[in-house]
Amino acid sequence: MIKENQRLLNRLHVLSDGAVLYLSLPAAFWIRFHVLRGGTVTVPLWRYLVLGVVLTLAQLFVYAALGLYQSQRKARLVWELERLWLAGGLVMGALLSFLFVQRYVDYSRLTLVVWFFLSGGLLSCKRAALRRGLRYFRQRGYNQKHVVVIGSGEMARAYWETVRCDLELGYTAVGYVSGRPEPGLEGLRWLGGYEKLGGVLESGRPDEAVCAIGPEEYGRMPEIISCCEKTGTKLSIIPFYAKYMPSNPQFDELEGIPLLNLRRIPLDNWANALCKRGMDIVGSLALIAVSAPLMAACAIGVKLSSPGPVIFKQKRVGLGKRPFDMYKFRSMYVNGTQGTAWSTNHDGRKTRFGAFMRKCSLDELPQFFNVLKGDMSLVGPRPEIPYYVEKFKEDVPLYMVKHQVRPGITGWAQVNGLRGDTSIKARVEHDVYYIEHWSVLFDIEILLKTVFGGKFVNGEALR
């Protein structure tokens, strides 16, 4: 079973991390004093090797504390790398603070900095390669986690469809237990009614049971939990209201009563919001300075292409459903339909120069000023005009969630090809995924994908 294999893989994972961490220190010593110039050895190599033992053990402990040695089957690579570098930063900060307080000035700070980036870079590459290797083997039926599905409702069918179609996840559903065989689960073996659950778990010894019963059967939940506990089977539950939940729900507590918070997002944290806003200010100022000559050329082109203003202002709905004026270089002839009409690839209202700007996304450049003002962010859901907000909020599930963050110039939906005249539902799904999984590294990934067309970063699309 996978449990025994997983223990072996985890041990090899920890040992290889330790080897990389430890060997990176003498490599950093060599780089500092034999590759870079101007260094004088004041502490012999053997003392760095002793320090390396302490650093390696401390780093491995922090990795474990941050969950890096738990199963990453459901986690994204960006999540893992975030915690990897966070752990490195914590250990590095603690080390430098200790050396400063103890006045150990002989150790080369540059050597330690080189070690930090060298070990972090090597471990990041190792984890990316490991994921790629596991993906390869799982697609061929190896490293599978065997699962029994409990229930046959909508969520059970959705779970079966996901693990059946996405072999990279490495889940094999061996069958399902429910009151009777149900349509929609073709290809998945019916193992019997709920009274058979204990025997199925005892004889089959699956790695996990996934309970996805409907609301009409929730009275069976104590029985299901009891069966899993008696057989020592890990139980995961998909609530019947799962489609309304975020992918990483948060729980509060009221006098011992757990409260599920359906829509708590990372950017509700003021430190995260401040960090993102700082990135927006610095990034927009830099981009305005770099693109100033190009914006001047676009302004001249717009003025010569047709009569009308250079900058086109259009009402869009932003953070907190507040309207704002979004700036663009005017790409169309002046017309009276900009408040309700949606632009398409072959739009007769475009000027020839405007079509060129649209194709190269040059018409979006003035939005750097929107970012600087605070109306927008560099990365976020694209803002929509009020007419379509009113239209979509009744028809598209979770559409209004996108207004809980600042809209962006680019976003997770756009780098996955959802721009222009594409599915609104798919766009919203990607926008909500971004909102619920926001991080600094995720923003950087999206910006790199925007610039390099998705070829520079091997990101994982919304599943």
**Which residue type, as a one-letter code, is found at position 359?**
K
- Give residue 383's pLDDT band: very low, low, confident or very high (50, 70, 90): very high
pLDDT of residue 296: 94
Token pair listed for 205:
């010894």
pLDDT score of 359 more than 70: yes
Cβ atoms of residues 185 and 211 within 8 Å = no
Tell me the C-alpha distance between 2 and 207, whole Å.
7
Question: What percent of the chain lies above the pLDDT cut of 90?
Answer: 29
pLDDT score of 75 more than 90: no
pLDDT of residue 158: 87
pTM given for the model? 0.60
Question: What percent of the chain lies above the pLDDT cut of 70?
Answer: 89
CB atoms under 10 Å from CB of 251, counted, come to: 9
**Which residue type, as a one-letter code, is found at position 128?**
A
More confident residue, 419 or 295: 295
pLDDT digits (tens, 9 = 90+) for 422-463: 788 889 989 988 998 898 889 998 998 888 865 433 344 343
CB atoms under 10 Å from CB of 200, counted, come to: 22
Mean pLDDT of 270-288: 93
pLDDT score of 404 more than 80: yes
pLDDT digits (tens, 9 = 90+) for 323-352: 999 999 988 877 655 555 555 555 557 788
Q: How far is CA 331 from CA 63, 364, 381, in A?
A: 51, 10, 22
Mean pLDDT of 377-395: 90
Q: How far is CA 204 from CA 163, 170, 221, in A?
A: 19, 18, 21
pLDDT score of 163 more than 70: yes
More confident residue, 20 or 166: 20
Mean pLDDT of 174-197: 86
Tell me the C-alpha distance between 266 and 277, whole Å.
14
pLDDT digits (tens, 9 = 90+) for 42-52: 888 888 899 99
Backbone angles phi, psi at 254, to 5 degrees: -125, 100
* DSSP bridge partners of 190: 176
Which H or E run includes 20? helix 2-30
Cβ atoms of residues 326 and 376 within 8 Å = yes
pLDDT of residue 361: 82
Mean pLDDT of 172-188: 84
Question: Average per-residue pLDDT in the chain?
Answer: 84
pLDDT digits (tens, 9 = 90+) for 257-267: 888 777 678 88
pLDDT of residue 2: 46
- Give residue 173's pLDDT band: very low, low, confident or very high (50, 70, 90): confident
Token pair listed for 246:
């975020």
Which of 21-35, 87-101, 175-189 is the most confident on average?
21-35
How would DSSP label each residue in 369-430?
A: HHHHHTS-EEESPPPB-HHHHHHHTTTSTTGGGGGGS--EEE-HHHHTT--SSS-HHHHHHH
DSSP class of residue 168 equals: G
pLDDT score of 184 more than 60: yes
Cβ atoms of residues 267 and 246 within 8 Å = no
